[in-house]
Structure 1
Amino acid sequence: MEFKRHSPLVTRISILVATIVVFAFVVAADNRSYMLILALLVAIIFQVKKLLNEVEGKDVPLSSFFDSIRFDEITQTFKADNNSVTVQKLQRELNEALSKLKQARKEKDSEYQFFKNIVQHVGIGLLTFKRDGSIQIMNSAAKRVLRVTKADRVEDLKVVSESLVDTFLKLKTGGRELLQLKFGDETVQLSVFAIELTLRDEEVKLISMSNIQSELEEKEMEAWQN
């Protein structure tokens, strides 16, 4: 079935594609506005409903396009089984929209990997966990100071010290505490600091920790020499 080059269908799909692209960039932004995200989501749903009503019975690859977004398969492309110039144009626009969504995700993933590498290589121990106790990040320094290789939940660290876990859970933003951990014959003096954050409407606690045993020993040595 043929469509006019400047038909309402072409205009409606163009607006929908633009809205989806804007939605993707707003979601990926650091200073995202949740009110704007909600408004764009409502606009997309409304446009999709109107568009589906309009293209019912026409050979346009919209179902494939929406399935790609719904099932998070934006790496694929699709082709319409129609030689209509207008349909082919719509196909190019939809593939271009998927390409922009893919690029936005790629940039977001690159930024995430960049900051993840920074966190993993800093000298101070860092650990983040959600309200339910599930650990999101535990960098290499934290694993070294706690003598663990893996922990999925804060409770898993009870094998190191129950008082350590209690401290992690009770500390509030700005809270600081000194802990003494025993690893065989070795004693570790641990300085723990906490910050509570909200990330995407979810409460997260950031714990920083450092072994100050060597600093204490140096001060004791200086005091003894004086």
Structure 2
Amino acid sequence: MKREGITYGPVAGYTALLAAASAALGWVVTGKWYPVAILLVPVIGFAGFRLVRLYSDSIRRVTFMFNAIDNDDFTFRFHEDPRKVDNGMLNAALNRIKEIMVRAKMRAEEKERYYQLIMECARTGLITINDAGSVYQANGEALRIFGLPRMTHIQQLEPVAPEAYRVLTTIRPGEKHPVSCVNETGEMHLSLGCSAIRLEDRQLRVVVVSDINSELSEMQIESWSKLTRILTHEIMNSLAPITSLSDTLLHIDRTMNADVAHGLDTISATSRRLMAFVENFRRFTKIPAPQKEPFEIRELLGQASALIATENIGVRVEVEPADTMIYADRTLVGQVLVNLLKNAREAVGTRREACIEVRSYIDPQENVVVEISNNGGAIPAEVTENIFTPFFTTKPDGSGIGLSVSRRIMQLHNGSLRLTANTDSRVTFTLVFG
């Protein structure tokens, strides 16, 4: 029904019909024209029935939309038929509501992904739990600290870190507790702090887990770097003239007293040993910035293994997936691998059943992990405490910088190097490329 360019739908038509029939019925009844009144009653009933049906159909569509949204289903769309004015207008309105909800959902998902990325990029462990101990979220650093592939309840920590488990059950917002955990690599010192948050009518606790050992390690390396830069400068300035003068006097064309010659020779040899030691200092402090490029880890592992393999000692290499790529400095990472493999070869020595294994895989946080293992026997506890300390060595001719330089190289790659297994049957060093 149209009038002066305005389109009216069924609702308006049936409403007008119901109003007109009701008015006519009143006028007829007033005039006592009862036979005519009997004819108007079906018209009023028909108009009322159609209005109720249209109303019910609208309610049904609105209910369907809210049920779909409540079930997170946004695939529906109502047909917008321009010939059916009331249906078309309602359907268009419902479709618009759906589009607004879809945009709001997409914005919420983008924010969630953003916050998830922030959590995963954090160098600190983050665990979100409720009062019952259920874990809603745990980032990769928290899983790495506790050595778990995933965490759904804090009770999973009881066997691996009982003290941390007890603190997590009682810690309250604003509190901070130091925690010690013992694992295969020795004692690990943690700091646990807690904050409160309310999310979807649920009261949650966000626990921050800081690996104090890791923080101290970085501070120690920085302190050693500053110290060695000063020492190398001062020692080299003092050694250079001593070495030069002693060599000059030793090769002078003049007969020399035997004791004097022996003394000069001792001075020269000692100064050269000191200079070699200083060179090790320089190697520790002058690690170049990584020149990163993408390459397959299998190729580098194969090259490093070939360098240390002997007739009696083979290296078994396993890479899964076979085409694993890393983005790193090939030369520096190769130096780390060769150093660890040389240590493994020295550890197994001449054992009859010597075994060196190299395994590469991708962990749940999508980090590339390389494990280098040997069966050369457990490293003594007093040694494991200092193996990453610069210039600490148990070898008569060792410099003591191999593992410390290797760890520093991994840190420059935003990765880590840790002793993750230390038993008589298996010693494993693990590299994680973040």
Fold match by TM threshold 0.5: yes
Instruction: Tell me the residue number matched to 2:147.
Output: 147
Instruction: Tell me the residue number matched to 1:177.
Output: 177
What TM-score do you get using the length of structure 2 for normalisation? 0.37
Counterpart CA distance in 1 for 2:174 and 2:132 is 21
Amino acid at match of 1:130: N
Distance 1:198 1:55, change over 3 A: farther
Instruction: Tell me the residue number matched to 2:107.
Output: 107
1:3 aligns with 2:42: no
In 2, are the aligned partners of 1:75 and 1:98 still within 8 Å (CA)? no
Instruction: Tell me the residue number matched to 2:331.
Output: none
Distance 1:80 1:216, change over 3 A: closer
1:57 aligns with 2:65: no
SS of equivalent residue, structure 1 residue 68:
helix
SS of equivalent residue, structure 1 residue 188:
strand
Q: After TM superposition, give the deviation of residue 120 of structure 1 in Å.
A: 1.2
Amino acid at match of 2:76: Q
1:71 aligns with 2:76: no
In 1, are the aligned partners of 2:143 and 2:151 still within 8 Å (CA)? no
Q: After TM superposition, give the deviation of residue 199 of structure 1 in Å.
A: 2.6
Amino acid at match of 1:125: G
Distance 1:117 1:175, change over 3 A: same
1:94 aligns with 2:94: yes
In 2, are the aligned partners of 1:64 and 1:78 still within 8 Å (CA)? no
Q: After TM superposition, give the deviation of residue 215 of structure 1 in Å.
A: 5.0
Distance 1:141 1:215, change over 3 A: closer
Instruction: Tell me the residue number matched to 2:204.
Output: 204
Q: After TM superposition, give the deviation of residue 85 of structure 1 in Å.
A: 1.6
What TM-score do you get using the length of structure 1 for normalisation? 0.67
SS of equivalent residue, structure 1 residue 159:
coil
Q: Which has the higher contact order (CA 8 A, sep 6+)?
A: 1
Q: After TM superposition, give the deviation of residue 127 of structure 1 in Å.
A: 0.5
SS of equivalent residue, structure 1 residue 194:
strand
Task: Identify the range of structure 1 (204-213 vs 66-75) with the bigger mean alpha-carbon deviation.
Answer: 66-75
SS of equivalent residue, structure 1 residue 137:
strand
What is the percent sequence identity of the aligned residues? 19
Amino acid at match of 2:203: E
Distance 1:99 1:191, change over 3 A: same
Q: After TM superposition, give the deviation of residue 72 of structure 1 in Å.
A: 2.9
Counterpart CA distance in 2 for 1:198 and 1:172 is 14
Instruction: Tell me the residue number matched to 1:21.
Output: none
Q: Which runs of 5+ in 2 are unaligned?
A: 1-8, 16-49, 228-434
Q: After TM superposition, give the deviation of residue 197 of structure 1 in Å.
A: 2.7
Amino acid at match of 1:157: L
In 1, are the aligned partners of 2:134 and 2:152 still within 8 Å (CA)? yes
Counterpart CA distance in 1 for 2:143 and 2:111 is 24
Counterpart CA distance in 2 for 1:170 and 1:111 is 31
Distance 1:165 1:107, change over 3 A: same
Q: After TM superposition, give the deviation of residue 152 of structure 1 in Å.
A: 0.6
Deviations 1:13-59 (A, max 9, x none): xxxxxxxxxxxxxxxxxxxxxxxxxxxxxxxxxxxxxxxxx964115
In 1, are the aligned partners of 2:80 and 2:92 still within 8 Å (CA)? no
Counterpart CA distance in 2 for 1:55 and 1:142 is 62
SS of equivalent residue, structure 2 residue 158:
helix
Amino acid at match of 2:96: E
Deviations 1:49-108 (A, max 9, x none): xxxxx9641154334323323433233212278942221111111111111111111111
Aligned residues between the structures: 174
1:120 aligns with 2:128: no
Counterpart CA distance in 1 for 2:158 and 2:52 is 59
| Equivalent runs, 1:32-51 vs 2, <5 Å | none
Amino acid at match of 1:132: A
Counterpart CA distance in 1 for 2:82 and 2:214 is 74
In 1, are the aligned partners of 2:129 and 2:204 still within 8 Å (CA)? yes
Amino acid at match of 2:127: L
Distance 1:67 1:192, change over 3 A: closer
In 1, are the aligned partners of 2:81 and 2:88 still within 8 Å (CA)? no
Counterpart CA distance in 2 for 1:197 and 1:137 is 13
